Structure 1
Amino acid sequence: MLRTIIETRKDQIERMEWLIRPKKIASKKPSATAEADPRVAALKEFFEKPDGVHTWTEWLRLLLEDMFVIDAATLYMEKSRGGQLLALHPLDGGTIKRVIDDWGRTPTAMQPEIGTDNKPTGRMLQPVAYQQVLKGLPAIDYTTSELLYKPRNIRTNRAYGFSPVEQIIMTVNIALRRQMFLLNYYTEGNIPEALVGVPETWTPAQIQEYQTYFDQLMAGDLAARRRLKFIPGGIAKGGVVATKEPELKSDFDEWLVRICCFAFSVSPTPFIKQMNRATAGTQKEQSDQEGLAPVLSWIRSVINGIIVAELKISDLEFAWGDDTQIEPKDEADILTKYTAGAVMTLNQAREKLGLEPYSNPLANEPMVLTAQGYVPLTAYDDTQKRADESAKNMADALTGGAAGDQDDPNNPGGGGKSGAVVPDAASPAAGKPDAKAEKVRASEHWPFNKSAKRLRRLAPIPFDRKATRVATASIQHRLQIAFGKWKPALIKQVAKALAEQGVQKIDDADEEEIAANIAAALEFDGLSSLANDLGIDLGDIATNSVSHVIAQMGVTDAGDLVNQVNDRAVAFARDRAAEMVGMRYDEDGTLVENPNAEWAITDTMRDDLKRVIADGLEQNIGIDEITANIEALGGFSADRAEMIAEAEVRRANSQAALDGYGAARDSLDIRMGKQWLLGPNPCEVCQANADQGVIDIDEPFQSGDDAPPGHPWCECALAPVVAEDDVPDGAEAEPVADESESE
């Protein structure tokens, strides 16, 4: 058994590919022509047959044999008269005796030659370091320049190495004696198959006579052995006693196997009882990591020592190639992740699989897998690209470059994405007119417009693109981490709840109720921490926007005002972050559950889970299929995290600007309103908000929003509108409408 393990370990090392390459020096990179170095080819040729007789694999197995069994790998270095290395001959390490000097070490330094008169001759000689002992007598002396003696497991209190076989020698002895016992069971012994009782009155002669008769009756006739036999009544009364077979294999045998395998870090899977595939795979990986890698490292150090010390080449090295073997399914999953994350191109993945490349040029570009398919990396600049487009479109709208008539209050222009997106739980409900807004629209004139005959619209606040990009990325990252933790935990909770309900026995009338109860009972971990972190990100955006608003409105002595607006903006950001995860701050500033939270991202997830559970119960597909459908839900995706992050950052920007406008109005006594600026191809919700024209700064738009965004991916903008006489110095403004014309 131990021999089998040793040979297996040799086989594993033999199949490893090796190469000669330039050393990786930290101070400089290998030159482009390093692979063409003629010395590389010369070294490869030398190690293809290191001793001139055996191939690399044969030579390596000879070396490994002595290393594994007696830990005394030995190589005789054959050299020319000029000292050039010609061959490396493996020797029996068991015949090598180390010579120890007066200091307990093998002598290596050159020593003066002593003549016959016991006086130095003036020449320096290398001392004897090793002796080869044959038949009990010293046969040949070797110096360190002639013999390479390389025990792997050396110790300070011993002159020789300590091999894995020697470490388990007692276990080996036990196993050998157990094998001899089993061998004798099949070759020796006097225990028959069964014992048959005979009448007590029979003499030994009668017993022997009947034994002979019965043996002759059964001998050579296999068919007769299977037929019913009639025997005398006295014999039948004695009965048949079958002898018990000894236990030929027990847990003790597995224990011996495990010890031997552990000594060589080889997986014991072939020798023990059946185990599941995952456990076997884990043990194989562990054995490769713990046992194979150190042996490969030892071989590499031996070869590199020869290259440097004997061949005098210091900038080349021996190295092992990549021999990682993975299952085809695992390899496909890895390559899919690499191509989806732009780590490698599609054609690089196909080349690794040995397939023909695609002719499409995009297959040679790194691409990112999105919900709409693969997108080239050059076209995938999420936050920065949208911010640049939004800023450009808003500028075009204000200068007339991309919009209609500047004087038309109902079509002021703007920029951004199409708003026709279904609202997410992270955004306010759209499409339902607010009662307060309807009341304002019903009035003939707004007080703001009534007090100002001519209105001027200021440019929307140019939000800090860098700060917006950083905050969006941070929030998206935090949400993705939270989604990654929540998904497996929620799936586990759902599976447990379904198992307790007994999903195979549920009546149709109970499906919706059970799904609602399970969804309501789900627990989202880490909500407090997530709320605090999101509050910090949104608060940073809010304070940044406040400073831009105050500067735009021409406030000079803005210290106290900025502090007040900042406090309100940060408070809004903090409360909004808590509301996003279904929480709120109580009077003591402690985060508590908020059953009435609006637009909470957890509510959307609960609704999606409720729908999947109810559908699964209705179709009676079982727990595994239901949990698989939950796994595929888009509510935990990176795309949703990005959508929420962008919407919330825009909301924080807009709300902070709105607070700044209100503070400037109160501080400077400016007659101020606001206007919804559309993006291209607007949705009905945003169009209705823009159709309202200019409204008072404190009034909501028709959708119920105080400011954009009105839905996910909305890139509409909010523009402040002031009376012409109240336009702050230095502020860029354009006419909106004449009050008499609007009447």
Structure 2
Amino acid sequence: MAPKGGKETDVSAIAANPSLLARAKEAAQYVISGVMPGTWMSPLQPIRPVAPETVQPRAFDFPVGYNTRFQPRTGRGNSYETLIALSETCDILRLAIETRKDQMEKLEWQIRPRAGSTTTDDDPRIKQLTDFFMYPDKEHDWSGWLRALLEDHFVLDAVSIYKRLDRKDRLYSLDLLDGSTIFPVIDETGRRPMAPSPAYQQVIKGVPAIDFTSDELIFAPRNVRNRTPLGYSPVEQVLVTVNIAIRRATSQLTYYTDGNVSDGVFWLPDTWNPDQFKSFQELWDSLHVGDLAERRRAKFLPGQKDSFQQIVQPPLKDQYDEWLARVICYAFSLPPSAFVQQVNRATAETAQQAALEEGLAPIQKWVKGIIDRVIFHDFGATDIEFAWLNEKEIDPKVAAEIQSIKLQRGVITLNEARSQDGLDPYEGVGDTPGLQTAAGFVALPTEEDIAAAKDASLAARQAIAEGAPDDEEPAKAHGLKKKYSDPLKRPAAIKAHSAIRDTVNAVFDRAAHHVASQLRGMAVVGKADDEDEKRKQRAKSIADDINLFDLKEVKAISGALDDLATDVTNAALTDMGLFGQVDARSTTWATKHAAELVTQITDSTRDMLRQTIAQGLQETDILGVADRIAKDYAFSPERALLIADTETAFANGNGAQKGREIAKDLGIKIKKEWLDHEGACPICVENALAGPIEIEDTFPDGSMTTPSHPRCHCTTVSVIED
């Protein structure tokens, strides 16, 4: 029975007819529930698909008869021939291509076991694959083969590699084919047909000549897109820009070959007749035959008497030429430094290094993918891969610095570093991991060393407790609490202080010189307005425009900070009977702190410059301010000394704190206590009155450890408790 208000319908006729039921079910499946024509502004039901149910989703909307349009790049607008012609006509474009090819060619490579596999470096397959790729096509070596591959990538993005087999159907060579002759065919879904169906055709003399399956030919565009099987090369990306550059170069060439504008004209009396002008012109030209081109000979015209008028030639190169060079270089991730006016040297070098890394990495990864595909599919080696050497760092000098840092921090051993350089290993300690500190080499502890250190620390605490008077608490009476001694008087601290002071002084000297040069080069001469607010705004604008790139070199003090912090950490652990427990915590702190210090010094220096410039503009002009910069406090030895005092104290305090953290990780119950000195400030006195606190807690002023302020000579000590 139908519910109240409902309607009862007899469906027995539909149930008795299966075809009617099927159609009703099909209609119900397609209808979007809740969408009604009578709804206000209804979206209505979608149009039913007209394609048969057997049609699969297509990769893109390809033209009907796509595979019959076998001429490569049909319908793409720009033929392969156009791209090739552009790449061989535009000087800047060709130089960019050759530069990238040179950079890739010089990179070293290797065949190695995949990470996580059990394969060893002496696996005979590694040598077999290395020998194969030394001459991939059995004609050219790796460098020549790679350059040809990259040429097709940069110009056409249609790299095509034919897998030539030997008589036993084994891969014999990888022969490069001209990518402009390859036409990728598609299946009914718009994707590459799988073998044994043909996937590519080589078009020779305008007709399909050879079919290739996907197993026979590698067609590897790097810039893959969904709407076409073809790639999108860097040359095609800047096609319009390259066209303009070629036409500008042609125009500039005609200046020297077909120009007709003289450098100037002589005005002669207007009473002369044409024959007199012609005779005098011939006489003048005869005096300069062999010296000047015809277009550069001065002309004589009637007009002003006894006068010469210079004709100004248009510039042959302007900012637009630089813009074209920038666009082309950007397409190849190359710095445009060779084609544009130079910025400061530091900025140019940074841009060059960034472009080198950012531009090469994707190409390296793409080439690696092609080689790994061959290793995997054609040699069946799933546990072996192709790898570039020095992938992370291109510059050998920087790579050596990184290797040195890793060695100092215990990331690699000495023999591992020598192995990377192809040198024979050292006997003895060459395989021992350790840290390089100011006190020398400190070996990282083994499990036996850690166990022995724990036993030694327990014995030390027991001895301390046994030596305490009966009426005293052992921990409070005896721990490792000491009388105050100036932490900055230790030899390691004095050495670090001297190194930091000298480094900062040298950086300030260079920065002062460059800041003064920048001020002199600014087009803001004349005295400032009398109004104080306007003067401050002008000073702020000038200071904000100054490049303080030299101050980045302050980070070089991280080495001195690292040495001192590690030395203090080692001394703190030694006092607790813990030997060989130093880890990389101090080094990590030093590197991070030095980077933060660069930002702090840069910001504070800029603030000081604003004040100096504002005060100077009240008395003189910007050139006068530039002359005063060398003596300004912002770049003075006094400020360098203050920074050295403060940073030495920071390294000392953090080194001691890291030592306490290591001791706590080893199970020692330890606290810290602030020791002030005679004449200490109220802030430090309050910290000292707090007594022993947990090592992860902060003192009353919010400090985790010393110093509390610049030129603070307080220290913290460790207090061991049972």
Task: Provide TM-score, normalisation by structure 1.
Answer: 0.53
1:640 and 2:653 aligned? yes
- Cα distance, 1:328 vs structure 2: 7.5
- Cα distance, 1:628 vs structure 2: 3.4
1:190 and 2:190 aligned? no
Q: 1:277 to 1:188 in 2, by over 3 A?
A: same
Distance (whole Å) between structure 1 residues aligned to residue 592 and residue 215 of structure 2: 64
Partner of 1:395: 462
String of CA shifts for 1:370-415, please: whole Å, max 9, x gaps.
5x66544449x99999998786456335546xx9x9899xxx9957
Match of 1:421 among 485, 491, 497: 485
Q: 1:296 to 1:325 in 2, by over 3 A?
A: closer
1:396–1:414 CA contact under 8 A, matched in 2: no
- Cα distance, 1:211 vs structure 2: 1.1
Partner of 2:114: 23
Distance (whole Å) between structure 2 residues aligned to residue 94 and residue 706 of structure 1: 80
Q: SS where residue 72 of structure 1 aligns?
A: coil
Distance (whole Å) between structure 2 residues aligned to residue 101 and residue 654 of structure 1: 75
User: Which letter does structure 1 place at the counterpart of 2:210?
Assistant: I
Partner of 1:91: 177
Q: 1:92 to 1:340 in 2, by over 3 A?
A: closer
String of CA shifts for 1:45-82, please: whole Å, max 9, x gaps.
11111111111111111222112111111122222344
Partner of 1:628: 640
- Cα distance, 1:307 vs structure 2: 2.0
Q: 1:161 to 1:487 in 2, by over 3 A?
A: closer
Partner of 2:234: 164
Partner of 1:281: 349
Residue identity over aligned pairs, in percent, reads 36
Partner of 1:304: 372
Distance (whole Å) between structure 1 residues aligned to residue 419 and residue 129 of structure 2: 30
1:196–1:241 CA contact under 8 A, matched in 2: yes
1:421–1:713 CA contact under 8 A, matched in 2: no
Q: 1:352 to 1:201 in 2, by over 3 A?
A: same
Q: 1:641 to 1:290 in 2, by over 3 A?
A: closer
Match of 2:216 among 123, 135, 146: 146
1:397–1:415 CA contact under 8 A, matched in 2: yes
String of CA shifts for 1:492-550, please: whole Å, max 9, x gaps.
576467657869x99xxxxxxxxxxxxxxxxxxxxxxxxxxxxxxxxxxxxxxxxxxxx
With CA pairs under 8 Å and 6+ residues apart, which has the higher RCO, 1 or 2? 1
Partner of 1:8: 99
Distance (whole Å) between structure 2 residues aligned to residue 219 and residue 348 of structure 1: 73
Distance (whole Å) between structure 1 residues aligned to residue 690 and residue 147 of structure 2: 80
User: Which letter does structure 1 place at the counterpart of 2:178?
Assistant: D
Q: 1:501 to 1:346 in 2, by over 3 A?
A: farther
Q: 1:364 to 1:10 in 2, by over 3 A?
A: same
Q: SS where residue 223 of structure 2 aligns?
A: coil
- Cα distance, 1:173 vs structure 2: 1.1
Map 1:276-355; keep pairs closer than 5 Å.
Answer: 276-323=344-391, 325=393, 334=402, 337-344=405-412
- Cα distance, 1:476 vs structure 2: 10
- Cα distance, 1:141 vs structure 2: 2.9
**Greater displacement, 172-181 / 624-633:** 624-633
Map 1:51-70; keep pairs closer than 5 Å.
Answer: 51-70=137-156
Partner of 2:245: 175
Q: SS where residue 322 of structure 2 aligns?
A: helix
Distance (whole Å) between structure 1 residues aligned to residue 394 and residue 464 of structure 2: 57
Distance (whole Å) between structure 1 residues aligned to residue 453 and residue 717 of structure 2: 11
Distance (whole Å) between structure 1 residues aligned to residue 270 and residue 407 of structure 2: 88
Distance (whole Å) between structure 2 residues aligned to residue 236 and residue 64 of structure 1: 63
Q: SS where residue 305 of structure 2 aligns?
A: helix
Partner of 2:513: none
1:108–1:127 CA contact under 8 A, matched in 2: yes
Task: Provide TM-score, normalisation by structure 2.
Answer: 0.55
- Cα distance, 1:108 vs structure 2: 2.6
Q: 1:493 to 1:84 in 2, by over 3 A?
A: closer
Distance (whole Å) between structure 1 residues aligned to residue 480 and residue 184 of structure 2: 83
1:646–1:713 CA contact under 8 A, matched in 2: no
Q: SS where residue 349 of structure 2 aligns?
A: helix
Distance (whole Å) between structure 1 residues aligned to residue 672 and residue 355 of structure 2: 59
2:267–2:306 CA contact under 8 A, matched in 1: yes
- Cα distance, 1:183 vs structure 2: 0.9
Computing the radius of gyration from Cα coordinates, the structure with the larger value is 1
Q: Which runs of 5+ in 1 are unaligned?
A: 110-125, 223-231, 425-465, 467-472, 507-616, 656-683, 686-703, 720-743
Partner of 1:271: 339
Distance (whole Å) between structure 2 residues aligned to residue 203 and residue 394 of structure 1: 119
**Greater displacement, 321-330 / 235-244:** 321-330
String of CA shifts for 1:574-628, please: whole Å, max 9, x gaps.
xxxxxxxxxxxxxxxxxxxxxxxxxxxxxxxxxxxxxxxxxxx9x9997254443
Distance (whole Å) between structure 2 residues aligned to residue 647 and residue 128 of structure 1: 71
Partner of 1:553: none
Q: SS where residue 632 of structure 1 aligns?
A: helix
Q: 1:202 to 1:138 in 2, by over 3 A?
A: same
Partner of 2:502: none
Partner of 2:710: none
Q: SS where residue 652 of structure 2 aligns?
A: helix
1:23–1:315 CA contact under 8 A, matched in 2: yes
User: Which letter does structure 2 place at the counterpart of 1:305?
Assistant: R
1:49 and 2:135 aligned? yes
Root-mean-square deviation (Å) = 5.3
Map 1:206-605; keep pairs closer than 5 Å.
Answer: 206-219=276-289, 237-323=305-391, 325=393, 334=402, 337-344=405-412, 366-369=434-437, 375-378=442-445, 392-393=459-460, 395-396=462-463, 399=466, 416=480, 419=483, 421-422=485-486, 487=597, 491=601, 495=605
Q: 1:8 to 1:417 in 2, by over 3 A?
A: same
Distance (whole Å) between structure 2 residues aligned to residue 69 and residue 416 of structure 1: 72
Partner of 1:131: 201
Map 1:719-738; keep pairs closer than 5 Å.
Answer: none
Distance (whole Å) between structure 1 residues aligned to residue 649 and residue 660 of structure 2: 17
Count of residues paired in the alignment: 480
Distance (whole Å) between structure 2 residues aligned to residue 313 and residue 652 of structure 1: 55
User: Which letter does structure 2 place at the counterpart of 1:189?
Assistant: G
2:277–2:301 CA contact under 8 A, matched in 1: no
Q: SS where residue 269 of structure 1 aligns?
A: coil
Partner of 1:79: 165
Partner of 1:582: none
